Structure 1
Amino acid sequence: MARVRTGEGRSLGRRFGWLWTAYAVSAFGTWLAFDAFPLIAITVLHAGPARVSALAAAGLLVGAAVAVPLGPWVEFRRKRPVMIAMDLVRCAALLSLPAAFLLGGLGFVQLLVVSVVVAAADIAFTAASGACLKTLVEPDDLLAANGRLESTTWTATMLGPPLGGAAIGLFGPLVTVAANAVSFLVSAAGIRAIGGTEPRPARSGAVHRAGPRLRAGDLLEGWRHILTSPALRPLFLNTILVSGLIMATAPVLAVLMLGRLGFAPWQYALAFAAPCVGGLIGSRLSARLAARFGRPRIMLVFGTLRACWLLGPAFVRPGVAGLVLVIAVELGLITCMGVFNPLYATYRLEWTPPDRVARVLSAWSVTSKLTIAAMTGLWGLLAGLTGPRTAIAIAGVLSLATPALLVRNRGALSGPDVLTQVGTSASVKNEGEGGPIMIEIKSIEKPDDRRDFPRGHLEIANLSGLVFGKATFEPGWRWTESVKDIAGTDLCEVHHNGYVVSGRMHIRMRDGAEQEVGPGDVFVATPGHDAWVVGDEPCVVFDFAGGMGEYAKAKH
C-alpha cells in the first residue's frame, strides 16, 4: 500500500503544475458557461421544452455512446497528444456556435451536434488525463495531486456559475460559450508545456503480438476489468448509484423550489453555490484525515456520510428556514464528497494497471453519464406521478442503502498490496564489503506476460531470475475445465507457494486430500491437484514459487 502524504507546502513538480494549471483554466471555463446550451436554445433559437430536454439528454446519451470506442483508442496512444487534440476539438466545436450566430446560420441541429461532440471529447479527455496523472507524480503523491484537482473543481463550481450568470445577463450566453472555447485553447497550451518525452504505450502479452489495430474485445475491456475486480466492482456500483441519485433529484428539486415553494432564482443559485466551499474544505482535509486515521477508515466513513444527506431536501419549506435547510444539507453533502472524491480517485488509479487506465476511466465515465441520463428521466416521470417531495424522498431512502457496497469492500479499501502497487520498475545496486547488494522493484500490474484462459487470467513478472504470478479466477473457474486442455495434463503439475488476496478456492490433491483457502491464507500445493473457485467472488492469488512461468502455457 502506498504511504499517505498530505502534500501540503510541497511542490509536486513542474510537470504536474502545468497539468493542474490546464485543468483549472478549463474547469473555470466550463463552469462559466454552465447552462449556456439550454439558454441558447431558449433565448436565441426559441426552442420549446421538448427540444430543450432532448438537447440535455442527447448530449449525455449520444456523447457517451460515441465515447465507447474512444477509451481503447486512447489507451494505446500517447496521452498528452490525445488531451491536446480533445481540447482543440472542444474549442473548435464551441467556437462554431458564435461564428454561426454572427453569420445568421445558427440552428438547433448544430447546437445538438456540438453538445454530442463536446460530451464525447470530455470522456476521452478524462480517460487520457487520469492515465497522464499517474505517470507525472509518484504513487505516494497521487492523493495529494487528486486533492488539489478536487479543490480546483469545487472552487470553479462555486465561482463559475455566478460569474457566468452575470456575463450572460450582460452579454448573452454565446459570449460565455466563446470564453469556454478559449479556456480549452489555453488548456491545450498548458498540456503542451508539460514537456518531456512520452513513450508510446505498448500492448502487453498476447495483445501486443496482435498488433496495434483496435479489436472488438478492447471495447469492453474497461468494464471487464472493473466488474471482475473485487476491489473496484463495489466502488464502481456505489459511485455510479450515488451520483445518479444526486443528479436525478436536481431538476426535481429545482421544480419544487422555484415553482411550488416560490424561491427567487437568486436564492436557488445561492443554495447551491455557497455550499461549494465545503468541497474546497473537504478536499483540503482529505489527505490529512487519511494520514491521521487511515485511508480505509476515512474512505468508508465519508463514503457512508455522503449518502445520508439526500433525504433532507424532501422536507424543505418556503422562506428563510427552507433556504437554510437546503444550504445546510448541500454543505454537508459537498463536504463529504470533497473528502471522499480524492481518496476514491486515488484508490481507482492504484487498483488499475497502467495498460488499462484509459479504458477503465472511459468505461466509468460512460456508465456514469448513461446512468445519470436514465435516472434523471426516470425521476422526472416519478415526480410527475407522485410529486416532487415523494420523488426526492424515494431517492434519499435508496441512497441510504448504497454504503453497504463500501462496507462489503472494507477489506480492500486500504489499497493494493505492495506487490501490486502500480509504479515504475526500478533497480538499485551497490557493491558492499560483503559482495553485491541489490534492490529491484517491478510492478506486477505492468506484467512481462499475460495469459488469458476461460474464466481467468494470469499476469507474470520476472525479477532477478524469479517468476512471480498474479492469477485472477472468476466464479465457475475450475482447473480441469479451464486449463487442462491448455496444459495437456490431467491435473495441475505446477508447484504453488501462494497467498490469497480475495475470494475462496478449494484444492483437491491426487490422493484425495482436500483443503479450502481464503483471504489472508498462505498455502503450498504440490504438483498433482485440481482446484476450483468457491462462491460468487473472484479469487485473486499471488504465487511466489516460480513455477507460474509454465502455468496455462500451451504444450507443443
Structure 2
Amino acid sequence: MRPNSEDAVATTRTERPPSLWRNRAFNLLWGSQCLSDLGSAMANLAMPLLVLQLTGSPTQAGLVGTTSLLVGLVCRLPAGVLADRLDRRRLMIVCDGFRIVAYAVLWGAVLAGEAGVTMVLVVVVGGAAANALFSTVEHAAVRNLVPSTELATAVARNEARSYGTSLAGPPLGGLLFGLGRSLPFLGNALSYLLSLVAVLLIRQPMQQPREQSAQSGGAAGVEGLRFVLGNPFLRALLLIAAPLNMAFTGMMFAIVVSLQRAGASSFVVGLASTIFGLGGFLGAFAAPALQRWMRLPTLILVLCWVSAGLIAVSSLFSTGVLAAVPLAAAVFLGPTANSALFGYQAAITPDHLQGRVVSVILLVAMSATALAPGLAGLLLAHFSSGTVMLVFALILAVSAVTATFGSGIRTMSTEP
C-alpha cells in the first residue's frame, strides 16, 4: 500500500528521508516546469515584439505586458479556491491542454501571416489565467509530493528554476524570434506539451482526501484570507513581503532607466538585468546551506537589514552598471528566505487551505510589485536616480523594522 500524504508530511526524524533528487514525482514536476517556464520566458519576450511589428506602436506593445499582469492578479484568488476544491492533477492537465492549443494556434497564425492584435490579446489573457491557476496549484501540491523535512529544499529548487529560466529564456526567445517570429510560440506550445506528459506520469496524490464543500466561491476565498490574517506568522509575512518585493522591482526599474538616461548601450542595460538575475540564481543553489546556518527568524532579519543597506550602497553608483552589483548581492539572500518562508507556510497550513493561502500571499506580494515601476517612474521624473534608489532603500527598511519588532516574527517557532 502506498503511504498517503499525511505519512509523507509526518516523516519521522529518526528515519532520514530519501534525497529530493530521488523523488520521482517532484522531479517530474520540477523538470517539466523548467521547460515550461523557459517557454513562457521566450513567449513573454516575443509577444510585445510581435505586436510592435504588427502595429508599430510601442504603446500597444506595452499593453501586452500590462494585460498579462492584471489578468494574473485578478485570477489569483479564484485560482486558490479551485486548487483547494477540485482535483489538482486535473486542473494542471486542463491548464496545459489549453495553453498547448492557444500557443499552437498563435504559432500557426503567425506562420501564415494571419495573426492580429486581437488574437494576441486573447492568447495573452487566456495564458495569464492558466498560468495563475497552474502556479497556484503547483504551490499547493508540493506539500503532498515531498516530506516536510524537504519542503524548504523543494522551494529553493523552484527558486533556482525561476531565476535560471528568467536568465536563459529572453535571449533564447530573441534568437528564435530573429530566425522566425513564429518560433518562440511553437517552442512554448511544445514546452506545455512536455509539462502535460510529466503531470500524467505523476502517480502520487497531489492532495489529501476531502469532503465536498458547500461553501460558495466567495466564502471559500474569505476562509483562506481569514486563515492568513489570523496567523501571526503569515500576517507578518504579508507585511514584510509587500515592501520587500516593491523595493527590489522598483530598484531594478530605476537602474534600467538611469542607465538609459546616461546613454548606456542596450548591451550594458541587459548586463545589469543579467547581474541581477544571476544573484538570485546563485542564491537559490546556496539556499539549503544558508538555511542550515541560520534559524528562520534570524534569516528574515538578516535579509531585510542587509538588503536595505546594499540597496543604499547601489545609490552611490546610480548612473553605472555597478549599481546592479549590490542589488544582486541583496537578491542572493532572496531564494533562501523564500524557500524557508514558503516551506514553513506549507507545513503549518492545512492541505485543504493550501491553494487559498498561497494565492493570498502571492496576490499581496505581486500587487505591491506591480506598483513599483509606476512609483519609480514618478519619482525619477522629479528626483535624481540616487535619491530614488534611497527611497526604495527606505521602503525596504519598513520590512526590516516590521521583522525586528513584529510579534509574528519574534515569537515564531522554528518548527512547524
- The partner residue of 1:364 within 361, 364, 367 is 361
Q: Report the CA distance shift for 1:89/1:29 in structure 2 as closer, same or farther (over 3 A).
A: same
What TM-score, normalized by structure 1, do the two folds share? 0.66
What corresponds to 1:18 in structure 2? 28
What corresponds to 2:100 in structure 1? 91
**1:42 corresponds to 2:52:** yes
Q: What pairs up with 1:113-132 in 2 under 5 angstroms? A: 113-132=122-141
What corresponds to 2:409 in structure 1? 410
- Name the SS of the counterpart of 2:232 in structure 1: coil
Distance in 2, Cα, partners of 1:19 & 1:275: 26
Q: What pairs up with 1:356-435 in 2 under 5 angstroms? A: 356-386=353-383, 388-407=385-404, 408=406, 409-416=408-415, 421=416
Show CA shifts across 1:94-113 (max 9, x none): 33322232344322233223
What is the aligned length? Answer: 404
Q: Report the CA distance shift for 1:330/1:198 in structure 2 as closer, same or farther (over 3 A).
A: closer
Higher normalized strand content (fraction of residues): 1
Distance in 2, Cα, partners of 1:384 & 1:169: 34
Structure 1: which 5+ residue stretches go unaligned? 422-556
What corresponds to 2:85 in structure 1? 76
Deviation at 1:137, TM superposition (A): 0.8
Q: Report the CA distance shift for 1:62/1:196 in structure 2 as closer, same or farther (over 3 A).
A: closer
**8 Å CA contact retained: 1:6, 1:288:** no
- The partner residue of 1:250 within 230, 249, 252 is 252
**8 Å CA contact retained: 1:231, 1:351:** no
Distance in 2, Cα, partners of 1:29 & 1:118: 12
What corresponds to 2:3 in structure 1? none
- Name the SS of the counterpart of 1:30 in structure 2: helix
What corresponds to 1:513 in structure 2? none
Show CA shifts across 1:522-542 (max 9, x none): xxxxxxxxxxxxxxxxxxxxx
**8 Å CA contact retained: 1:157, 1:273:** no
1:296 is matched by which residue type in structure 2? P
**8 Å CA contact retained: 2:256, 2:272:** no
1:182 is matched by which residue type in structure 2? L
Q: Report the CA distance shift for 1:316/1:292 in structure 2 as closer, same or farther (over 3 A).
A: closer
What corresponds to 1:459 in structure 2? none
Distance in 1, Cα, partners of 2:71 & 2:338: 26
Deviation at 1:145, TM superposition (A): 1.4
Q: Report the CA distance shift for 1:216/1:295 in structure 2 as closer, same or farther (over 3 A).
A: closer
**8 Å CA contact retained: 2:242, 2:365:** yes
Q: CA RMSD in A?
A: 2.9
Structure 1 range deviating more: 191-200 or 120-129: 191-200
Deviation at 1:308, TM superposition (A): 3.4
Distance in 2, Cα, partners of 1:123 & 1:266: 32
What corresponds to 1:143 in structure 2? 152
Show CA shifts across 1:329-380 (max 9, x none): 2320221113222112212212322111001112222333333223332332
Q: Report the CA distance shift for 1:308/1:82 in structure 2 as closer, same or farther (over 3 A).
A: farther
- The partner residue of 2:349 within 348, 352, 355 is 352
- Name the SS of the counterpart of 2:382 in structure 1: helix
- Name the SS of the counterpart of 1:150 in structure 2: helix
Deviation at 1:167, TM superposition (A): 2.7
2:252 is matched by which residue type in structure 1? A
2:165 is matched by which residue type in structure 1? A
**1:57 corresponds to 2:66:** yes
Rg larger for: 1
1:256 is matched by which residue type in structure 2? S
**1:186 corresponds to 2:185:** no
Q: Report the CA distance shift for 1:314/1:115 in structure 2 as closer, same or farther (over 3 A).
A: farther
Deviation at 1:234, TM superposition (A): 1.0
Distance in 2, Cα, partners of 1:7 & 1:166: 42
Deviation at 1:413, TM superposition (A): 4.2
1:351 is matched by which residue type in structure 2? I
Deviation at 1:128, TM superposition (A): 0.8
Distance in 2, Cα, partners of 1:357 & 1:88: 24
Higher normalized helix content (fraction of residues): 2
Distance in 1, Cα, partners of 2:313 & 2:348: 34
Structure 2: which 5+ residue stretches go unaligned? 1-9
What corresponds to 1:227 in structure 2? 229
Q: Report the CA distance shift for 1:255/1:358 in structure 2 as closer, same or farther (over 3 A).
A: same
Distance in 2, Cα, partners of 1:401 & 1:175: 44
Deviation at 1:200, TM superposition (A): 6.9
What corresponds to 2:240 in structure 1? 238
Distance in 2, Cα, partners of 1:373 & 1:277: 22
Deviation at 1:44, TM superposition (A): 3.0
Higher relative contact order (CA 8 A, sep 6+): 2
Distance in 1, Cα, partners of 2:386 & 2:48: 25
Show CA shifts across 1:256-304 (max 9, x none): 212x111111122122214534323322222223223433323432343
Taking every aligned residue pair, what percent have the same amino acid on both sides? 24
Q: Report the CA distance shift for 1:9/1:275 in structure 2 as closer, same or farther (over 3 A).
A: farther
What TM-score, normalized by structure 2, do the two folds share? 0.87
**8 Å CA contact retained: 1:275, 1:334:** yes
